[in-house]
Amino acid sequence: MTDFANSSRRGLLKGAAALAGAGLLPGFAWAADYPSRPLTMIVPWGAGGGTDATARMISALLERKLGQPVNVVNRTGGAGVVGHSAIATAPADGYTLGVVTVEIAMMHHMGLTQLTSEDYTPLGLMNADSPAVTVSANAGYADIGALIEAIKASEPGTFKASGTGQGGIWHLALVGWLKSLGLEANHVTWVPSEGSAPAMQDLIAGGVDIITVSLAETKAMVDAGRAVNLALMSTERAASHPDLPTLAEGGASDFALATWRGIGGPRDLPQDVAQMISTAVAEIAVDPEFTEFMDSRGFNVAYLDPEAHAQMMKDADAQMADAMTAAGLIRS
Amino acid sequence: MPVTDVLLQALMLVADPRVLITAFLAGAFGMFVGAMPGLTATMATALLVPMTFFMDPIPALAAIVAASGMAIFAGDIPGALLRIPGTPASAAYVEDSYRLAMKGQLNLALGTNLLVSCIGGLFGVFVLIAAAPMLAEFALRFTSYEYFWLAALGLSCAIFIASADPLKAGIALLIGLAMATVGLDPTTGVPRFTFGQVDLMAGVEFIPAMIGLFALAEVMRGVVRLNYGTPPPAMPKSDGALFRGVGGVIRRHPGNIVRGSLLGAVIGALPGAGADIAAWMSYAVSKRFSKTPEAYGTGHVEGLVDASAANNSAVGGAWIPALVFGIPGDSVTAIVIGVLYMKGMNPGPTVFIQNPQLIYAVFMIFILTTLMMVPLGWVAVKAARQVLRVPPRVLLPIVLSFCIVGAFAMTNSVFGIVVMLALGVLGWVLEENGFPVAPIILGLVLGGMFERMFMTSMIKSGGDLGAFFDRPIAAILGAAVLLIWGLAIFGAVRRMLAPKRPALQKADQ
Amino acid sequence: MKLTDALSGAALILLGLFMLWQSAQFPSFAGTAYGAAMLPRLLALGFVIGGALLVLRDIMARRHAGGPFVIFAPELRRVQGIAAMAAVLGNVAAQILLGPQLGYPLVSVLGLLVLFLVLRLPVWQATLLAIGATALCWWLFAVLLRVPLPRGLLEGII
């Protein structure tokens, strides 16, 4: 008991000193010796998911490079709004970073938040995954061409597709693809689901016909022989699935889209701090420990330096705006 | 590879002292996390994940299996001692176990919880071993129609759990359902009742809500009484052997154990429905078919038997779709699947062919940790019982501290504390006025699934309600729901027409 | 705080009407008549009906009895009772309002100290227990379970 009392009292005194110091010396004192205390990595998605696992791996490696613990904190809910807000509104001192995901290019179009990619300091893109068109194994489509023929011949609303919630990235993938085929956005009915796992379940159970989610998310069912990937919505084949043709190769439009995850901090991070983190992030992206982990989960490593990361987010914003307008998701 | 070789290899993997020590430590950790109000089995597992990064597959899985199973049992401990369920899976029968303890039968309550949890857990493992592929096939037939009826069936449990005042219990259920609608609607992506607050977009997290409704409200009641000079009635001392009389309970209710375990394993195997729902449903079933339904909620051991067996059986059940198809049965196995991939044991039927020794090692770990639950649980109960020696004026503020940090831990922000505060005040007012709070939790747990599955089904069928009965399993479940409601309404009408009996009053007010 | 059922019923009716009004603003969902507003409306209806039943039942029951509409629990009529309640709620509110700035440990120690004193513990016991309980929570949650409890003023010290 006395020990607690002592350490607490000492802490109080130091606290008072720190407060005084902070008041007198706004901000620059720590830049030289950054990082002098543990960092926080905010993940806008739940523990156990792909983003969470990626973030935990990056944090573990970042910890080694920066010499300070990096604590992963899940701030979930609101389709990513809560976590992305927490990253953007954290103090811009380099002690709070986060994983910025593709949803940042989508949420503000739906009026869910004011935040855009401009509200972050990009520190490096780590991963990009394109969705595959996946159907149930007993549906009997030989290739993507056969599926497209069947869709085109069908009455609007006959086919159902799923993969995520209304207006989620995989919904936009479907809409963008239908558009590129010259079909109406609702020619195939989108059935919202609470993520890819329930959607896969619904596909196998016969509730929906098409799933447009990433290869990693379909892997178990495809390996089990219950589902079949028909084509990848990308400009090039995936390293993990060299036999899977792209949409363009299947002669089925050249539509391409990806979900992505990057490391970011609040806007206006001090330049030297941002430099330090982005260098570490760049090293992690080629670290075999990281790449092997990503391979094992079926995630595609796609590193972009901060400048390219910023540009990519800007481009994605425009692409998403188009897709969401097409899907009738943007409310005025 | 002959089966004996596989088994031998698996045994070698498990018999490694590092595996055993990991399982033991993780089990103790799970026991602690589960006993903390508001910390769940999911949280215990999530906290282990960074550590499992650096472990071999078998110790990593052993850690998760041990921690999640123990946490589900340990949730019963604060329920019996303080009327604060440690995990949502214990909320269904917290009233019974607390009242048993107040009658001086703390040992009977917790001893029954522990042994029956162990039996249920073992049952779940054996179902996992024997029937995994078959049950997984069954689970894969569930589309949104079947899930809708399942959620409806779960909500119908409120009818059976309902207390002396069905009207007030019904209103409490509505409150829980209404709270489940707060946040971003997953089907349409529209924010509801968020009033422009970012935090509310995530909705009302039900763990902080549970801490508020049960724990904070209990602390409020406690301190007020304490200061008024009418301290809450002290719990009678219950020394002596933990398991005295438990054998008798188990012998008297073997059917309940089997029924609870079976229900738990099946519900656990359905992706998206876990130990929480299993506990509620089996409690309701138990009451419905009991010879003494009126004793439920007053400190009756029978419902405890069913529900304790069910929630631990569901732990094993949840691994069925996870291992066979990589589809998570609950939030714990969602994390497990991530770990499996990371360790190169990609879930799917192939894992049974490619790595049978790993799968059998997992089964052995399951059996081992379930058996380990008895000694670990015994120690935990003995240790936890010491809190009864602490005078309330010291204990209550400490419980309050744990509530605050526990609520914070669920959202990693003060928003969790805000939810706890709001629900604590609500829970206190409701209970003062004779509204039961347990149905609120039921509504919060099932509300999201109920609405989502209805909407999804309607989108699929283009608004045709008949589609809810088109598929065979859906039709059976739907008929069951309609039958339950029909009988309940018929009974209510008959009672209304029958000569009036004096209305039941809450005994303790 | 005990309300008569008539009063709680009225509150529920108001809640139902509020939900109806709010859900009128939810956009409808393309293609179906069932949208984001459906369940909230049904629930609102439930609240109105349930509330009305409560009011009716209460009025029927108390035609003979009468009595006040709000009964404060006897415990809350005394200053000690109110103080205890206020100290508990104050502890929680302080963590919400001051915790992020001042830090969890500081707010917790001070808050618990007040609560222990209100519960009439001797000062030295109250002080020790407040610090001990805070340290225990901190160690278990912030250190062991890595929960990012706010450090506030103690940032960089603990």
CB B256 within 8 A of CB B309: yes
Helix extents (H) in chain C:
5-23, 38-65, 79-97, 99-102, 104-118, 123-137
Residues in CB range of B456: below 8 A, 6 or more apart: A191, A192, A193, B144, B187
Total domain count for chain B? 1
Please identify among residues 29-48 of chain C the ones whose CB lies closer than 8 Å to any CB of chain B.
29, 31-36, 38-40, 43, 46-47
Q: What is the ipTM of this complex?
A: 0.91
The verdict on B446 touching C (C-beta cutoff 8 Å) is no
Best of B49, B68, B325, B454 to substitute, by most chain A Cβ atoms within 10 angstroms, is: B325
Q: Which domains does chain A have, with CATH numbers?
A: 37-129+259-326 (3.40.190.150), 131-232 (3.40.190.10)
The beta-carbon neighbor of C131 closest among A4, A18, A331 is A4
Considering C27, C52, C71, which residue would you say is the last residue of a domain?
A: C71
Asked if the structure places residue B468 within a domain, the reply is yes
Best of B194, B341, B353 to substitute, by most chain A Cβ atoms within 10 angstroms, is: B341
The verdict on C113 touching A (C-beta cutoff 8 Å) is no
The 10 Å Cβ neighbour count of residue A170 is: 26
Integer CA distances (angstroms), B195 to A87, B122, B192, C45, C158, in order = 21, 47, 8, 21, 37
Residue B372 has pLDDT above 60, yes or no: yes
Domain range for residue C26? 2-71
From A120-124, A321-325, B252-256, B501-505, the region with the lowest mean pLDDT: B501-505
Please identify among residues 152-171 of chain B the ones whose CB lies closer than 8 Å to any CB of chain A.
none
User: Do C149 and C81 reside in the same domain of the chain?
Assistant: yes
- Chains touching A (at least 3 CB pairs under 8 A) are B, C
Asked if the structure places residue B509 within a domain, the reply is no
The beta-carbon neighbor of B203 closest among A77, A85, A86 is A77
Asked if the structure places residue B507 within a domain, the reply is no
Total CB pairs under 8 A between chain A and C: 47
> Cα–Cα distance between B402 and B404 in angstroms, integer?
5
Measured over the CA atoms of residue B360, residue A226, residue A241 and residue A309, the dihedral's sign is: negative
The verdict on C67 touching A (C-beta cutoff 8 Å) is no
A76 strand-pairing partners: none
Both tokens of B415, joined, read 């928003």
Q: Pick from A85, A109, C95, A99: which is nearest to B197 by CA? A: A85
Best of A8, A12, A41, A96 to substitute, by most chain C Cβ atoms within 10 angstroms, is: A8
Mean pLDDT of B267-272: 80
Mean pLDDT of A15-21: 41
Domain range for residue B428? 3-495
The beta-carbon neighbor of C50 closest among B171, B432, B458 is B171
B182-202: burial string, b at 16+ Cβ within 10 Å, e else: bbbbbbbbbbbbbeeebbbbb
Asked if the structure places residue B500 within a domain, the reply is no
Q: Higher-confidence residue: B432 or C71?
A: B432
Residues in CB range of A49: below 8 A, 6 or more apart: B334, B338
User: Do C11 and C81 reside in the same domain of the chain?
Assistant: no
Q: How confident is the model at residue C82 (pLDDT cuts 50, 70, 90)?
A: confident
Q: Using CA coordinates, name the residue in chain C closest to A332.
A: C27
Task: For residue B328, say if its preceding peptide bond is cis, omega within 30 degrees of 0.
Answer: no
**CB-CB under 8 Å, B183 with A48:** no
> Cα–Cα distance between B391 and C114 in angstroms, integer?
18
User: Do C84 and C104 reside in the same domain of the chain?
Assistant: yes
pTM value is 0.82
Asked if the structure places residue B160 within a domain, the reply is yes
Residues in CB range of A224: below 8 A, 6 or more apart: B324, B325, B326, B348, B349, B350
User: Do C32 and C91 reside in the same domain of the chain?
Assistant: no
Residues of A in contact with B50 (CB under 8 A): 56, 60, 72
What type of residue is B90? S
> Cα–Cα distance between B406 and C140 in angstroms, integer?
11
Instruction: State the DSSP H helix or E strand holding residue B9, giving kind and residue range, or none if neither.
Output: helix B3-15
**Residue C56: what pLDDT?**
87
CA of B351 to nearest chain A CA: how many angstroms apart?
9
**Residue B442: what pLDDT?**
81
Place of tokens 């943007």: A330
The verdict on C146 touching A (C-beta cutoff 8 Å) is yes
User: Do C110 and C45 reside in the same domain of the chain?
Assistant: no
> Cα–Cα distance between B465 and B452 in angstroms, integer?
15
What type of residue is A20? A
Q: How confident is the model at residue B505 (pLDDT cuts 50, 70, 90)?
A: very low
Q: What's the start-to-end Cα distance of chain B, in Å?
A: 67
The verdict on A27 touching C (C-beta cutoff 8 Å) is no
User: Do C87 and C51 reside in the same domain of the chain?
Assistant: no
Asked if the structure places residue B235 within a domain, the reply is yes
**Residue B164: what pLDDT?**
65
User: Do C105 and C133 reside in the same domain of the chain?
Assistant: yes
Mean pLDDT of B184-188: 77
Best of A51, A72, A113, A166 to substitute, by most chain B Cβ atoms within 10 angstroms, is: A166
**CB-CB under 8 Å, A1 with C131:** yes
Residue B170 has pLDDT above 80, yes or no: yes
Residues in CB range of A124: below 8 A, 6 or more apart: A262, A263, A278, A281, A282, A285, A303, A304, A305, A306, A309
**Residue A8: what pLDDT?**
39
**Residue B5: what pLDDT?**
80
pLDDT above 70 coverage of chain A, percent: 89
CB A294 within 8 A of CB A301: yes
Q: Higher-confidence residue: A112 or A261?
A: A261
User: Do C145 and C92 reside in the same domain of the chain?
Assistant: yes
The verdict on A331 touching B (C-beta cutoff 8 Å) is no
Total domain count for chain C? 2
CB A160 within 8 A of CB A188: yes
Residue-averaged pLDDT of chain B: 82
Asked if the structure places residue B503 within a domain, the reply is no
> What are the pLDDT digits (tens) for B74-89?
888 888 888 888 777 7
Asked if the structure places residue B502 within a domain, the reply is no
> Cα–Cα distance between B354 and B350 in angstroms, integer?
6
User: Do C26 and C57 reside in the same domain of the chain?
Assistant: yes
User: Do C96 and C57 reside in the same domain of the chain?
Assistant: no
Q: Using CA coordinates, name the residue in chain B closest to C45.
A: B174
> Cα–Cα distance between B189 and B198 in angstroms, integer?
14
User: Do C65 and C118 reside in the same domain of the chain?
Assistant: no
Considering C71, C95, C110, which residue would you say is the last residue of a domain?
A: C71
**Residue A31: what pLDDT?**
53
The verdict on B167 touching C (C-beta cutoff 8 Å) is yes
The verdict on A21 touching C (C-beta cutoff 8 Å) is no
